[in-house]
Amino acid sequence: MTSSGRLVVHRRWGKVFPVIDHAEGVYLYDTTGKRYIDAAGGSSVVINLGHGNKEVVDALAQQALRVAFSPAHVFANAPAEELGEMVAALAPGTMKDACRVWFTCTGTDAVDDAVRLARQYAVVKGQAGKSIVIARWQGFHGNNIAVAGWHGHTYRRSIYMPMFINSPHIPPAYCYRCPFEKTFPQCNLLCARWLEKEIRQQGPENVLAFIAEPVVGAALGAVAAPDGYFQIIREICDKYGILFIADEVMTAWGRTGTMWGVEHWGVTPDIIATAKGITSGYTPLAAVLAREEIWQALEDHDSPFRAGHTYNSNPASCAAGIAVLNYLTKHNLVARSKEMGAYFLNKLESLKQHSMISDVRGLGLMLGFEMVKDKQTKEPFPPSMKMSGRLEQVALERGLVIFSCAGCVDGAAGDMILLAPPFVINEEQIDWCVSTLHESITALAKETAK
């Protein structure tokens, strides 16, 4: 059975989608009985625990029977209160047990609300001139029109360009294609120091926040900032009174081998936006964490947070989040992500034997590799060839689900693959994934040579 594509709008016109039937662990099964390994973690870095986890399903079902929905403007609910305490206790650095948590629906909502919070905080502190959000090119922060103005994913921004405020951007922390044509560490981390230049040019009195992903997902295929990068970012933000917002929609909850991606750099953001892994895809949920003093300023000025949706703090979703975090910690899956990620990354290095595979990168079980036309010059394939999308399809035919990305070269060209399997993946399954990638790349090379 395949999708008809007639009544339900899918992500691509003309594509025939297999219909999913059931899933278990790292495996997905379609209605024909074909089995796939989910090496993308769902639709781009969502499934941390694995599919079919009975503890999560039972928690979700039991809460749905008790109360599946309650109006957040009228009632609090016990699952949201409990999950808030859990999240605060797991928060990174100086945020641990010194923050408050706001629950919303999606990663896009979390980013939008994080910026709303930063703005409202500035206003109540008498700094209403602060409104500019500085982001990075080749970063991605979500899919509403406001967020499109902040992130730096050219393809997703272009059609909406006349409709949003085009915020300033600095170059990404992307050593493989250093925008300054330097080499780390002799570069003196110019990519981080460029933030200070941008703040000074915009005027510190006008700049509200800087936002970045610790490991860039959809826009760069698992590029982690180099050592020292976020330490410099933190220093610059402190120097000019700028809030640092960490987009941990993909990177939190053990995905990079630590509970939070930013922990690799030993710094604490002012605000964190997170989603995806908090419920491991079992139901939509997202959260915004911010330092206690930020929320306290709003409370002191009797300024309720001006954000929210119908499904904020949904009790069933929060119950699922409790079950996910309990399972994650009980089974030590953050450490497993680190261990299996190191094994997977080592195995992925073998892909470089193919002429079209260049850089291999990532942290924990958030991994990726880049496809090029010429390794020596790093020349990308022409965008018209859609090489990463074609590799995704070739791998799918062989039972491997991966996530294709594009636009790493000036937002216009460049092909990457993002890999983010569930933490329960084992070495044998990783070996199969790498072997299938070899087969798929070889098949694509032959097809391209015709």
Boundary-marking domain end, from 272, 302, 330: 330
> pLDDT category, 5, cuts 50, 70, 90?
low
Are residues 432 and 422 part of one domain?
yes
> pLDDT category, 6, cuts 50, 70, 90?
confident
In the block, tokens 């009980």 appear at 330
Are residues 338 and 311 part of one domain?
no
Boundary-marking domain end, from 303, 330, 357: 330
Closest CA relative to residue 261, chosen from 248, 245, 243, 277: 248
Q: Is the pLDDT of residue 2 over 80?
A: no
Report d(CA 60, CA 247) in Å as an integer. 26
Q: Is residue 2 part of a domain?
A: no
What is the domain extent for residue 173?
57-330
Are residues 43 and 191 part of one domain?
no
> pLDDT category, 418, cuts 50, 70, 90?
very high
Structural domains in the chain (count): 2
Are residues 370 and 346 part of one domain?
yes
Domain containing residue 138: CATH number = 3.40.640.10
Are residues 41 and 127 part of one domain?
no
Helix (H) / strand (E) containing 446: helix 427-449
Helix (H) / strand (E) containing 409: strand 403-409
Q: Is residue 1 part of a domain?
A: no
Q: Is residue 12 part of a domain?
A: no
pLDDT tens string 170-199:
999 999 999 999 999 999 999 999 999 999
User: The tokens of 101 are what?
Assistant: 């948590």
Transcribe 122-161 into DSSP letters. HHHTT-TT--EEEEETT----SSHHHHHHS--HHHHHTTG
Are residues 209 and 154 part of one domain?
yes
Domain containing residue 431: CATH number = 3.90.1150.10
Query: What does the buried/exposed string (b/e) look like for 263-290 if buried means 16 or more CB atoms within 10 Å of the residue's CB?
Result: bbbebbbbbbbbbbbbbbbbbbbbbbbb
> pLDDT category, 157, cuts 50, 70, 90?
confident
Are residues 374 and 308 part of one domain?
no
Are residues 356 and 346 part of one domain?
yes
Q: Is residue 5 part of a domain?
A: no
Q: Is residue 267 part of a domain?
A: yes
In the block, tokens 């339900």 appear at 8
Are residues 213 and 99 part of one domain?
yes
Q: Is residue 4 part of a domain?
A: no
User: What's the pTM value of the predicted model, to 2 decimals?
Assistant: 0.97
Q: Is residue 242 part of a domain?
A: yes
Q: Is residue 337 part of a domain?
A: yes
Are residues 295 and 155 part of one domain?
yes
Are residues 413 and 298 part of one domain?
no
Report d(CA 105, CA 261) in Å as an integer. 21
- Mean pLDDT, all residues of the chain: 96
Are residues 341 and 321 part of one domain?
no
